[in-house]
Amino acid sequence: MKRTKIPFSTTLCLVLIAFGGSVAMAQTSTFNQRQTSHVWKSKHGNFQFNGKATKKEGNYVTFRTTDSFEITLPVKYLSDEDLAYLKYLEGSGPLPPGITAAAGSSSPGTTPPTGGMANNQGPSTDDTAMNEGTTDPAEPMPTEPETGDPTQSYAPGASVDVMVDGKWYPGKVIVVRPSDNHYYVTFNMNGQGRPAWIAASELRPQKAATTSDTSPMPGSSDEPLESFDFKGIPVTAKKEIGYDVGPMREGDTLKLRYVSGKWKSWGNLASESPDADAPAGGDKVRLAICSVSGGNQAQTLTLVPGGTADTPFIWQADKDYEKIILQINDPDKTFADNPERGVTYAIAIVRAGP
């Protein structure tokens, strides 16, 4: 498969034209950046991305994604919830339910309007921004025969490998288009950053984050346990110990955020996301936080709900645990019979003070 490189700014200009024409002179309102990063979605669900609203000019609003790209879109194409959130950011409406305001801010508000032309150039094509968040190998990965899973879904910000001409290159998801399971990604090809819309069948979770290693995090009962920030980990559905987190002490806090992948605890096709609001099978596809002591069977402590790609799930240890593990919530505990595939979560631990 050969691809023609199209500048990101050109792509977004074409999107703006398709959305309804040019941007005229308009007053500009700049949003306070104390707002938290938010998952912005279109009215009809054909795209979504993570970022902050930076300014509004007439009927257009500009965003900066968590990967430092700038996107300008017509306001009318945002979901009703996001339109309400924009009103809150402007100081003209309440905070919509389910959205968290920045700490110490009852309403971020905007700066006074200024005149100016709306930005219709789309994201920056600066190589530094384009390469941000990806590795930079001198050569592509070796040719491999496997392809991506066309049924797998990815969240904005997920680290992925991109298939081009039979070779995999490391990249990151910027914008999600659920309508046809396509993703706008940036990836490094022979040391150069490139953006493109890629089908799920030509993506896979980044190889570095999908190994079968289930060793515990650093630390043991004889060593001080340290806090660490979010890092991607694979969780397999084929074993009781889907991932070994390790020991946790009373007061330690575990944070989990869904990144990518689908699995099931029955049947032959791994087709359900544990992060969906209402997945087929319900709790049978949820991620379970369990404790293991000695040679006993794992005891489920709690289930991780859906929606963690937007808001991480937080669990705090109520006592000392010899070992905490993650597993698919398989009711019959026949893990080896589950369909192949696993999921990827980002995990962080905040250790309690002495």
Domain region containing 187: 127-208
pLDDT at residue 251, as a whole number:
94
In a domain, 95, yes or no: yes
Q: What are phi and psi of 233, to 5 degrees?
A: -135, 145
DSSP 33-73: TTSPPEEEEBTTSS-EEEEEEEEEETTEEEEEETTS-EEEE
- Pair (197, 100) in one structural domain: no
pLDDT at 223: 56
Residue 257 within any structural domain of the chain: yes
Q: 3 in a domain, yes or no? A: no
Strands 114-117 and 25-30: antiparallel
Of 306, 296, 304, the closest CA to residue 254 belongs to 304
If you count DSSP H runs as helices and E runs as strands, how many of each does the chain have, helices first?
3, 19
Q: Tens of pLDDT along the chain (354 residues)? A: 444 443 444 344 434 333 433 434 456 777 776 677 888 888 877 788 888 888 888 888 888 887 777 787 888 888 889 998 888 888 787 888 877 665 444 445 544 443 332 333 333 333 333 333 333 333 344 444 457 788 888 888 788 888 887 788 888 888 888 777 888 888 887 767 788 888 888 898 876 443 334 444 444 444 568 888 888 888 999 999 999 999 999 999 999 999 888 999 998 888 999 999 999 989 999 999 999 987 778 999 999 999 999 899 999 999 999 999 999 999 988 898 898 888 989 999 999 876
**CATH code, domain with 173:** 2.30.30.140
Residue 2 falls inside a structural domain: no
Shared domain for 240 and 319, answered yes or no, is yes
Do 82 and 68 reside in the same domain of the chain?
A: yes
Query: Count of domains in the chain?
Result: 3
Q: Which two tokens stand for residue 131?
A: 């390469």
1 falls within a domain: no
Same domain membership, residue 216 and residue 343: yes
Q: What are phi and psi of 323, to 5 degrees?
A: -155, 135
Residues 286 and 194 in one domain: no
Q: What is the pLDDT of residue 101?
A: 62
Closest Cα partner for 348 from 226, 239, 240, 266? 226
Boundary of a domain, candidates 117, 149, 167: 117
pLDDT for the residue numbered 182: 85
Find the CATH number of the domain harbouring 51.
2.30.30.700
Same domain membership, residue 132 and residue 108: no
pLDDT at 181: 82
Residue 190 has what pLDDT? 74
Pairing relationship of beta strands 60-65 and 70-74 according to DSSP bridges: antiparallel
Asked, for residue 243, whether it belongs to a domain, the answer is yes
150 shares a domain with 72: no
Query: Are 102 and 134 in the same domain?
Result: no
The residue among 75, 94, 117 that closes a domain is 117
**222 shares its domain with 336:** yes
In this structure, the answer to whether residues 184 and 276 fall within a common structural domain is no
Q: 0.75 exceeded by the pTM?
A: no
Distance between CA 187 and CA 172 in Å, rounded? Answer: 6
Single out the residue in 60, 82, 117 at which a domain terminates: 117
Tell me: do 342 and 222 sit in the same domain: yes
Q: Is residue 19 included in any domain, yes or no?
A: yes
Which parts of the chain are beta strand (E)?
Answer: 25-30, 38-41, 48-57, 60-65, 70-74, 114-117, 159-164, 167-177, 182-189, 192-199, 203-205, 228-236, 243-248, 253-261, 287-292, 299-304, 313-316, 321-328, 342-350
Task: Tell whether 122 is covered by a domain.
Answer: no
Quote the CA–CA distance of 37 and 53 in Å, as a whole number: 9
Q: Are residues 193 and 217 in the same domain?
A: no
